Structure 1
Amino acid sequence: MNNKQKFKGIVVPAVTPLTKDFKLDITALEKMFHNFHKHNVMPFVNGTTGESASLPFKLKKDYVIAASKIKYPGDMLYFGISANCLEESVTLAKIGFDHGVDAVAATLPSYYNLSDSQMIRYFEQLADQVPGPIIIYNIPVTTRMSIPLYVIDELSVHERIIGTKDSERSDERLKESIKLWSGREDFCHFLGWAPKSTEALIDGSDGLIPSTGNICPHIYEEMYKAVKNGDNERAYKFQKLSDMMGDVYQKGKLLGESLWALKVCMHELELCEEFVMPPLYPLNEEEKSKILKHFRHNMEKENLLIKTSTNV
């Protein structure tokens, strides 16, 4: 099966828009999905950027059901099913596929350190019980484990395991991953390491999963298009924009703090509110002012750069 014809391009790990009382904000979700659709990027809900580890089960269920109703016809929908309990991941996957998601993604459970053989057995058990395509999600910053490439490669022959999303920051790993899978029609590689986006696409990665796509999806739309058109110089201009906008909410912050800062930027764009789910909390007003000042400044610069680059 040629999975690369379907599972490719720009997939945005969507934030979970919340109301003040920590319910799903449907109005905000509609705005977000409109923004994604307008720029030809696909949503991935209930992932790391979506605070999945902190969300109640009911909210996860509500999110995927709402997302499936709101997404535009023809757009892909990805759904995170990561959990420390195998049964919970399977249940989430079944709910997702019952409501039309195209693929689910799962990290390793993150409480116990696992051996390589345990990793293989876990993903095989999960894939055997999940009724649709599954993506192996490697993110050591949260699971505290790196899934060896040979483990993923061994799992890649399973009929339901159709790809990997890799957020590990390793040049050597990235090069080896693309070498392993760029020629495989049945297995896809997505990168979740934004500073290496253009390089990965040029070298043969199938797609990107950048959190900055929540605020600037057009950057990645144009980057992907440029690489496909063989215009690497133009693609690297958008890489610089990606780096610049990522610094606004990520630089000098813990992962959880950066998710609040991302929502601050999204609120500035009238996409969603700033509320984050405990144990994440807002930083102080002084920090918020710094973020907004930096964001507004970069948006002005970006608009000039976008205008310039479209004339290249």
Structure 2
Amino acid sequence: MKKKYQGVVVPLVTPLTETYRLDVAAVEKMLANLQANEAMPFVLGTTGEATSLSLSVKKAYTKAAARLKSANTVLYAGISGNCLEESVELANYCFDAGVDVVAATLPCYYALSDDQMKRYFEQLADQLHGPLIIYNIFATTRMSIPIPVLDELSFHPNIVGVKDSERSTERLEESIALWANRPDFSHFMGWAARSAHALMAGSDGLVPSTGNLFPGIYRDMLKAVEDGDEEKAFYYQNQSDVFGHVYQSGRTLGDSLWALKVLMQENGLCGTTMMPPLQQLSKSEETQLKASFAEVLMKEEIQL
């Protein structure tokens, strides 16, 4: 069953100039890379440093991505924030600009009860001019949206799916059991290490940050699963793990985003400027990272 929201959705980094404006030329290269590999763009997410971006940069990125999207592209945009009204305004700006679907985490300053979580997403969805995907990410919000709360929200006419980045096999199995056969509600896996497992179990799509570098890995993984070729699916899972390890291992989430931009620079996609409070790391660390990347490319026989 093909759902409207499915497949490979890449959470794009935000390419920045040295003066912290949007690097539009880099956006063009990044979008072309996705289109060539049948992946969909997701701007203004965790990988895109969205919580640190000014509204002007967010709007510029939204407009640039919308201008570049092809007829068969589904464009996703993050609208997460701690102010309901501002999230509603950003979402409706996105829809007017040409975004197809928006995604939001919980506000993350106050600890929220189950009822507060449910009511927040209802109030958000009620005011949107388009569809919403709920984004569950414990690593940044420090809260987990319970599956029963998500299931209740799944019947709201404007709520069309969930992206779940929580590292729990039990959650995955419970989610698939509830939503795999729901044509109106999609489940996206945001836990990269379980991508192939999730797809084989019945998840509708993936949101892999390593797709910024090699979106083709996930296109090929998806095709292998569709063909019932488990061995090939796990071959691509291994490639995902290997490249993810290069920039993520031993680093905080913020530092891993800098490392990802370094590798993207090696691929000729964007520069390495980070939006404060995140920072570029030392030249020696950059040199070591590039050497590790080159070693893995040679081992995996991948040419840039």
Q: Give TM-score, length-normalised by structure 1.
A: 0.95
Matched, 1:135 2:133: yes
What is residue 90 of structure 2 aligned with on the other side? 92
Alpha-carbon distance, 1:101 to partner: 1.0
Secondary structure of residue in 2 paired with 1:19: coil
Secondary structure of residue in 1 paired with 2:224: helix
What is residue 204 of structure 2 aligned with on the other side? 206
C-alpha contact (below 8 Å) 2:3/2:204 kept by paired residues: no
Matched, 1:28 2:23: no
Matched, 1:176 2:174: yes
2:64 to 55, 61, 66: 66
Matched pairs, number: 303
Alpha-carbon distance, 1:73 to partner: 2.4
What is residue 120 of structure 1 aligned with on the other side? 118
RMSD: 1.1
2:74 to 65, 73, 76: 76
Amino acid aligned to 2:168: S
Amino acid aligned to 1:94: N
Amino acid aligned to 1:296: A
What is residue 153 of structure 2 aligned with on the other side? 155
What is residue 225 of structure 2 aligned with on the other side? 227
Deviations 1:43-78 (A, max 9, x none): 000000000000001111111011100122221100
Q: Percent identity?
A: 57
Q: After superposition, where does 1:257-276 map in structure 2 within 5 Å?
A: 257-276=255-274
Matched, 1:215 2:209: no
What is residue 51 of structure 2 aligned with on the other side? 53
Alpha-carbon distance, 1:300 to partner: 1.7
Alpha-carbon distance, 1:5 to partner: 2.5
Rounded Cα–Cα distance in structure 2 between residues aligned with 1:140 and 1:268 = 31
Alpha-carbon distance, 1:302 to partner: 2.2
Which structure 2 residue ranges, 5 or more long, are not aligned? none
C-alpha contact (below 8 Å) 2:3/2:186 kept by paired residues: no
Rounded Cα–Cα distance in structure 1 between residues aligned with 2:239 and 2:175 = 25
Secondary structure of residue in 2 paired with 1:169: coil
What is residue 252 of structure 1 aligned with on the other side? 250
Matched, 1:300 2:298: yes
What is residue 279 of structure 2 aligned with on the other side? 281
Which structure 1 residue ranges, 5 or more long, are not aligned? 307-312
Rounded Cα–Cα distance in structure 1 between residues aligned with 2:114 and 2:72 = 38
Amino acid aligned to 1:233: E
Rounded Cα–Cα distance in structure 1 between residues aligned with 2:262 and 2:150 = 36
C-alpha contact (below 8 Å) 2:137/2:143 kept by paired residues: yes
Alpha-carbon distance, 1:175 to partner: 1.1
Stretches (4+) displaced over 3 A: none
Rounded Cα–Cα distance in structure 1 between residues aligned with 2:122 and 2:246 = 39
Secondary structure of residue in 2 paired with 1:222: helix
Deviations 1:111-154 (A, max 9, x none): 11100000000000000001111000000100010000000001
C-alpha contact (below 8 Å) 2:43/2:61 kept by paired residues: yes
Secondary structure of residue in 2 paired with 1:5: coil
Rounded Cα–Cα distance in structure 1 between residues aligned with 2:293 and 2:86 = 38
